[in-house]
Amino acid sequence: EQFGGHEFAAGLTIKEGKLTEFKRRMNEIAYLDLSENTFEPELQIDTELSLEDIDMKFWKLLNQFEPFGPHNLRPIFVSKKVEAVGVPTIVGNGHLKMKVKQGDSGVFDAIGFNMHEYLPFVRKETFDMAYVVEENHWNGRRTLQIRIKDIHQN
């Protein structure tokens, strides 16, 4: 009947009697055009970064690239041989929360949403971590924190 949308969303209206045919055709097209790899998430890392380099000066420089959005994604960094400081925990609905450091770097708060499955090995060994840097405002203080996107076991 009707359709519309844009690059990041689509909408359509289908007559009730045409829904079965629509599903059949969509499945046909998907079968021909999509492979199993299509649904494998792929993380695009922008660059390797030492946690030692993350400070307010770095944050100000990073913010010169704003505004971030669909056509200007926030940079994703990777740091290698990172270790958890203290005891990592699971908070909320399966979110991994911990403090991290790399060598002699400072300690950063880090959270990985829905990453509870990584808890056993971040407690025991170093790991590589893909993340974005964010600013946290709490109790009148501004601090930098890490939002983990992925963890790779060393």
- C-alpha span between 146 and 110 (Å, rounded): 4
| pTM assigned to the model | 0.74
| Average confidence (pLDDT) over 107-117 | 95
Cβ pair 78, 49 in contact under 8 A:
yes
| Average confidence (pLDDT) over 69-80 | 94
Tell whether the model's pLDDT for residue 30 goes beyond 90.
no
The label of the residue with tokens 């808890």 reads 119
Of the spans 11-15, 41-45, 109-113, which averages the highest pLDDT? 109-113
Please give the CATH topology (third level) of the domain spanning 47-153. OB fold (Dihydrolipoamide Acetyltransferase, E2P) (2.40.50)
- C-alpha span between 22 and 140 (Å, rounded): 54
The confidence band for 1, taking pLDDT boundaries of 50, 70 and 90, is low
The residue ranking higher by pLDDT, 4 or 144, is 144
Tell whether the model's pLDDT for residue 41 goes beyond 80.
no
Range(s) of the chain covered by CATH 2.40.50.460: 47-153
| Average confidence (pLDDT) over 77-101 | 95
pLDDT of 97 reads 96
pLDDT of 64 reads 95
- C-alpha span between 26 and 100 (Å, rounded): 45
Tell whether the model's pLDDT for residue 117 goes beyond 70.
yes
